[in-house]
Structure 1
């Protein structure tokens, strides 16, 4: 099921995740602007459908919904510098902030989360965490999974979460596959799930993956 009303979205980041989301939304009839730290270089590399590619600050100011697809370990410092441009906007944060070595991965903000840190430094922006517990291809094709995946949401503002739910709908997520976990502190849980990734890759290889929350049917209780 996809949303009927076309959306206007800015995607910050032209790596695999940002480029993929921008291309899919554009192909589905939505208005998308890409933001890059080096827009001239990004324009040369871009091979997707025609979209404006602007600086991060310019792109952040063009849409009511902004998607953070920047590297998680750089997102806080970069987005803090865009405080004025992001004021009054919904920020969908789908990044995971970790530190990595050859043998381990740790959370960059233990006892907190990237989403919480962003909300703290961007008080005039409505931060919503979602889509960070899956590979980027699943973000736009949840129907391709063997079992229904779950898209978690965490954020302080109910209207902002409703706006993100419309974006999830546009990406192919049925409402029953979306799970609102509560306020932004719940992002600690979904971000911590990213620590599973090295072990999943070791066990299954580089295959698209997602997290599913299931429950027992009433019939199975008896």
Structure 2
């Protein structure tokens, strides 16, 4: 059992919190209010950022002390919305939210994952016709191993997890969000994920 704080009570955060609780972890959730987020992060070993990516950098930088020495699992994508409310452009072109978080929080182990799929697939990978890859980006091998174990608790087999390397590789998976609005406009909100066919 691991103590986990999920920051964000929307569809993504709620879905992850429910699944991780079901897997036997002690999970606390917190909304966007600084006091609640700080209290949740302070007592957790792992903190999951499921807040809207556009405001995540400021929100999490304010929790620098609470996040010191913790693993921060970032599942968000920092995008500016297009006219239809779907992701239209990257807020950190030439970089990524995960990289910016790691720079701002040098004493925190940032791991990027689960940001290349719609939220239902994060906790039900076997529901798709082809099991999707969950990509890992992060500089600390032990932190990534811990996140691998969490992904297994969410129903992922080892061969469905691809370690891309250091945190800089997160810019590739975050840029993949630009596929999403086009797929949704074509096929609707049916669950899907980006994956590598082998």
Does structure 1 residue 97 correspond to structure 2 residue 78? yes
1:120-139 alignment runs, 5 A limit:
120-139=103-122
Offset, 1:163: 0.8
Does structure 1 residue 75 correspond to structure 2 residue 56? yes
CA distance in 1, matches of 2:55, 2:32: 12
Does the residue aligned with 1:55 lie in a helix, a strand or coil?
Answer: helix
CA distance in 1, matches of 2:177, 2:143: 24
Deviations 1:74-123 (A, max 9, x none): 00000000000000000000000001121670000000000000000000
Does structure 1 residue 61 correspond to structure 2 residue 42? yes
How many aligned residue pairs are there? 196
Does structure 1 residue 84 correspond to structure 2 residue 65? yes
Which ranges of 4 or more aligned residues in structure 1 deviate by more than 6 Å? none
Deviations 1:127-173 (A, max 9, x none): 00000000111000001110020000000000010011011011011
Does structure 1 residue 11 correspond to structure 2 residue 6? yes
Does the residue aligned with 1:211 lie in a helix, a strand or coil?
Answer: coil
Offset, 1:37: 2.8
State the superposition RMSD in angstroms: 1.4
CA distance in 1, matches of 2:121, 2:32: 26
Does structure 1 residue 209 correspond to structure 2 residue 192? yes
Does structure 1 residue 146 correspond to structure 2 residue 129? yes
CA distance in 2, matches of 1:181, 1:188: 11
Does the residue aligned with 2:151 lie in a helix, a strand or coil?
Answer: helix
CA contact (8 A) 1:94 1:129 kept: yes
2:16 maps to which of 1, 13, 21:
21
So what's the TM-score if we normalise by structure 1? 0.85
Does the residue aligned with 2:189 lie in a helix, a strand or coil?
Answer: coil
CA distance in 2, matches of 1:177, 1:79: 29
CA distance in 2, matches of 1:159, 1:144: 29
Residue number in structure 2 paired with 1:36: 31
Structure 2: 5+ residue stretches without partners: none
CA contact (8 A) 2:7 2:30 kept: yes
CA contact (8 A) 2:69 2:107 kept: yes
CA contact (8 A) 1:7 1:167 kept: no
So what's the TM-score if we normalise by structure 2? 0.95
CA contact (8 A) 1:33 1:62 kept: no
CA distance in 2, matches of 1:10, 1:20: 13
Does the residue aligned with 1:32 lie in a helix, a strand or coil?
Answer: strand
